[in-house]
Amino acid sequence: MKASFAAPSLPQSGTLVLLAGEGPALAPLGEEADKASGGHVRRAMTAAKFEGKKDQSLEIVAPGSVKLDRIILLGAGDVGKLQPRDIEMLGGTAGGALQSAKATEAAIAAELPGKTSIKPGELAALLASGLRLRSYAFDRYKTKKKDDAPELKQVSVLTPAAPAARKAFQAFDAVADGVHMARDLVNEPANTLYPEEFARRAKELEKLGVEVDILDPKQMSRIGMRALLGVGLGSAKPPRVAVMRWSGGKSGTKPVAFIGKGVTFDTGGISIKPSAGMEDMKGDMAGAACVTGLMAALAKRKAKVNAVGVIGLVENMPDGEAQRPGDIVKSLSGQTIVVINTDAEGRLVLADLLWYAQDKFKPRFMVDLATLTGAVLVALGKEHAGLFSNNDELSERLTAAGQATGERVWRLPLASEYDKLIDSDFADMKNTGGRNAGSITAAQFLQRFVNDTPWAHLDVAGVAMDSPKNAISQSWASGWGVRLLDRLVAEHYEG
């Protein structure tokens, strides 16, 4: 669904969405619609006890005196307290209401009754962003589509600041494209999206001006990425590493770096997982999907930053050649790892990627994303990603960006006392510290491959796949992290 912007006037056909404040209170176009209907809108609000409270909605079949098909009222609550995030969610709610109403032609009035700190152009752009994010659907494998499902291709956003809205929406639109790309990648089945195919899709970012290099197993072996390669030994699908570079900042400026775990399917390897729910392990590459979608968003909106995205793409399968519990591997850093559990494979992938990124690109900071541990679900459920970091400033900026976008993070501890849980008698470390503090020991493991570079690890196991549905996401794959990290870059690292 696309959004267009136009001056506010009462449409002559289709469905009109109006935002109402508590009271209820209507904005100017709402008052105009009520007048044109002979007071029908207000009578319907009274009859339905619609008070404009947050999350209230009311669908009104337009009377004959109005040429519209219907009017949908959405409660915005206390207008003076609305934040940009709330407006974006209202846009998503509007998109859902239009889908439920099977609208084929629609407009939404980007007006609020009462005073708000949000400028008219930004208000309209945020509503359009919510509409776009909500419009996503993954149905490419359905051979039978619902014949009675109409298609709403475009919504007109009515605003007195149409030129400003168009300008502001360009960035939102680019980010929505990145979110949709990440959702597509996570939703794809593993027989379609295996390491080589994922790498090919990352390569397509070259059309946007992103430089993309793909490392094959021979190149990885030559470099010394043996921890990553060990994970893929049991699969007929050979691993890949995709290195994506966007050079939108000043020449010579150090890049920001994003690293993603891309296990395109995770059986657990020899330490095989239970069969129940294993089909969800097609989403064990959500970290890599986020990094790919983020790089696309930065390129599409011409972000004034130098950015690097590094993703490790591998399939973890049981086989006669597969890595065994007790095997010892030498990582790219030179540190050795004894593999206690082959289902703790994501940290092996990230260990080599983190070392590679910091050594090759000398970044200003590194953020890695991974569906790394089930333990983070026990700790935080599906509302927050786990945040671990060696840098307070980076952590605070990520936390603030999470509050602004709704992609929230919660910082968990790192401490030397946890290191003893991953120390080994046979190698420099083991790849799991056992049941206790599972998310923390995984992060402690990763920290050993970071040195002094400012770094944050985001454990997204609870938020990136099979995530809670909300006004802007009805998908199994949320595309989590694209909006968070784009906000981080835009606020602190561009220019």
3-state secondary structure of 104: coil
> CA 105 to CA 13: how far, in whole Å?
8
Cα 291 off chain centre by: 9
Taking the CA of residue 54 as centre, how many other CA atoms within 13 Å lie in the half-sphere pointing to its CB? 11
Cα 32 off chain centre by: 39
> CA 24 to CA 14: how far, in whole Å?
24
Task: List Cα–Cα distances, 279 to 1, 136, 267, 273, 343, in angstroms.
Answer: 30, 22, 9, 11, 15
In the residue annotation, 487 being an active-site residue is answered as no
End-to-end C-alpha distance for the chain, whole angstroms: 32
Residue written as tokens 């890949």? Answer: 240
Best CA proximity match to 457, nearest among 449, 469, 465: 449
- The answer to whether 214 touches 244, Cβ cutoff 8 Å, is no
Residue written as tokens 């510290």? Answer: 433
3-state secondary structure of 47: helix
Q: Which is catalytic among the residues 85, 201, 203, 273?
A: 273
Best CA proximity match to 447, nearest among 331, 326, 354: 354
- The answer to whether 309 touches 290, Cβ cutoff 8 Å, is no
> CA 468 to CA 457: how far, in whole Å?
22
Task: List Cα–Cα distances, 48 to 38, 79, 97, 102, 179, in angstroms.
Answer: 18, 21, 17, 22, 37
> CA 356 to CA 350: how far, in whole Å?
10
Cα 391 off chain centre by: 23
- The answer to whether 466 touches 278, Cβ cutoff 8 Å, is no
Best CA proximity match to 368, nearest among 253, 449, 279, 479: 449
Beta bridge partners of 265: 315
> CA 186 to CA 282: how far, in whole Å?
7
3-state secondary structure of 395: helix
Q: Which is catalytic among the residues 42, 245, 261, 347?
A: 347
In the residue annotation, 2 being an active-site residue is answered as no
Best CA proximity match to 175, nearest among 309, 298, 89: 298
DSSP state of 126: H
Amino acid at 116: T
Residues belonging to the active site = 273, 347
